[in-house]
Amino acid sequence: MEKRLSLLAVVVAAGLLCACGSNSGSDESSIKVGLITLHGTTSTYDKNFIDAFNAAAKKKGVKPIIYTNVGEDNGCYDKAALLADQHCKFVFANSFGHEDYIIKAAKEFTNVQFSHATGTKAHIENIPNYHNAFASIYEGRYLAGVAAGMKLQAMLDAGKTTGKTTSKKIGYVGAYTYAEVISGYTSFFLGVRSIVSDATMEVTFTGSWYDEALEKAAAEKLIADGCSLLSQHADSWGAPTACESAGVPDVTYNGSTESRCPNTYVISSRINWEPYFEYCFDAIKNGTEISTDYTGALGDTLYNGSVALSEPGKKGAAQGTEAKLNEVATALRNGTVQVFDTSKFTVTGDNFNATTMKADAEGHLTSYMANISTEATEAIETKGGITYFAESSKRSAPYFDVHIDGITLLNTKF
């Protein structure tokens, strides 16, 4: 304990505690809650968490303490221990690689509730004060893909009258070749194909969640390859600004980029973490349990759920986008549309793995043994007459890692 307390003194003295959290004040009776983020507010991903954490804390009357730029290493455990020593009752970490260090802290500080975004181990570790949380963001990605498909179709239609050729190839900048990213770009692609059925997509990976130079270079490569529209699962302004410079429509993640990219911004999807944080803060205050493996969902509008969209771009989105998205969102809510409907994609050739998959003669999956728990688990279900890959039904973190036809990976990064 003395080592941690001395480290706390050094951190505070050095001013390393993020000023974006309301961590000062004289109200010592306030319940304290802690947030650990991989980067700071220059990362769209981390800013999304920080803004939601502060908003929920203000609404629920708790006191937030936030540490930013915390690596996926033992420094994460150190920050979790500091937050426990500061009497935080709830500690949340936001990056995939933080999980093992948060689990270590949860085992030591049993009077603190720890939670982690994108993690995969809470449902098998059975630690009472450790929790995972995510959302069915693949539905938001799919909706963003619908908006992208409408933009692509509008460009194709305009070309028929102007004589300008538009490629049906789109591009995607990903961070890592993980299930989370694969699930995201595949759901986006299937949304596009719901509008432009013969669209294809190239994906390139940077090997980093946040590297503006790499993300910009990746976007520029995809544009040079003839991609007519781009999207991303990476956290900087690199890809959006490359698209704005080139005049290529862009679908972003974790928030609108319209302020700096007004001509090319189409739409953005994100996980809105504020409902989850409010739920956890209420649980802490009321002494109730926090779900071991929490999955947020679409709300009753496009903009207010745990899965949320930003408003379509005024210049970049196609006419009628919002109305179409409302139509599709209703179908997702009532189950008449499933994002990973196996009739809507095929898995053939090098993409087919007989060890984990079964498919019909056309290449539509009939069985997929997914890496969900300690044993491979069947992920294909049939409900309401639709056979689909049931993402999020067995674990909050994504596990769709199927490489489907129509998507070309230019590289891989693990």
Per-residue pLDDT tens digits of the chain, which is 414 residues long: 333 444 444 444 333 444 444 443 334 458 999 999 999 999 999 999 999 999 999 999 999 999 999 999 999 999 999 999 999 999 999 999 999 999 999 999 999 999 999 999 999 999 999 999 999 999 999 999 999 999 999 999 999 888 888 999 999 999 999 999 999 999 999 999 999 999 999 999 999 999 999 999 999 999 999 999 999 998 899 999 999 999 999 999 998 999 999 999 999 999 999 999 999 999 999 999 999 999 999 999 999 999 999 999 999 999 999 999 999 999 999 999 999 999 999 999 999 999 999 999 999 999 999 999 888 999 999 999 999 999 999 999 999 999 999 999 999 999
3-class DSSP assignment, residue 113:
strand
Alpha-carbon distances of 339 from 143, 293, 333, 344, rounded to whole Å: 9, 21, 11, 9
- Angle of helix 212-224 relative to helix 238-246, nearest 10 degrees, comes to 40
Question: What does pTM read for this prediction?
Answer: 0.91
Nearest to 56 by CA among 44, 45, 48, 67: 48
Asked if the domains at 2-117 and 137-271+302-337+396-409 fall in one CATH topology, the answer is yes
- b/e burial code for range 129-139 (CB count within 10 A of at least 16 → b): bbbbbbbbbbb
Answer for the pair 138, 187: CB distance below 8 angstroms, yes or no: yes
Q: Are strands 88-93 and 32-36 parallel, antiparallel or unpaired?
A: parallel
Alpha-carbon distances of 267 from 17, 133, 316, rounded to whole Å: 33, 24, 8
CATH superfamily, domain at 2-117: Response regulator (3.40.50.2300)
CATH 3.40.30.10 assigned to 137-271+302-337+396-409: no
Alpha-carbon distances of 273 from 82, 116, 181, 312, 358, rounded to whole Å: 23, 12, 19, 21, 36
User: Which H or E run contains 150?
Assistant: helix 137-162
* Domain limits, the chain: 2-117, 137-271+302-337+396-409
